[in-house]
A and B are shown apart, each in its own frame.
Chain A
């Protein structure tokens, strides 16, 4: 069972739909008690960094999530903004992130011919082996929508990289902590395989 954390940021219907399609049990919740008993956690997110951190900090969610991730070490997957929250912080805001991965979130620099947000389908190439990205169909491509990108300190924590003006870490892993910058729930068979992999880690 995968517990999708509803902290009021983002589009949860389509994540549930995809889990349903691949036959994986998942539930959406904002109850601390259900998150405390979660076996696997998915941290979604669309919106602004500080708004998300404020909600996580003020709702008591932060302590619960930290215990699950850092003490119990259950697998956690952050998607899009959810992945950026795993970093130390973002140029988008002033609050600190969860800091579960030594990484920063930066704004795409202004460059001619490079539109921000980075919106659309792009290629993500494996940079390290990870259970999260095994058996992906050939030429993996995913749907992205973001104006900020993640860059890890230790290249070993990068599992996929993508280029949009700059080259950045489009999927990351640090032990039980996983992140994907793109939207697997909107990425056809590529996303289905990735979510299936997360269900099986």
Chain B
């Protein structure tokens, strides 16, 4: 399921990242890699703050929906 549907506080594992090559690369360099852990910290109208590799990253809904967990 897309990251947007994850419940906050529950750790998940990145299964797949959809989207343009550029977008995928950018997300990878930020730490979103297949098999990596990701936890939603806070939600705000579909926009998320997530914990990935101990970094807090803010994602808009369209970006978050490309990350499948």
Q: Answer yes or no: are A and B bound together in one complex.
A: no
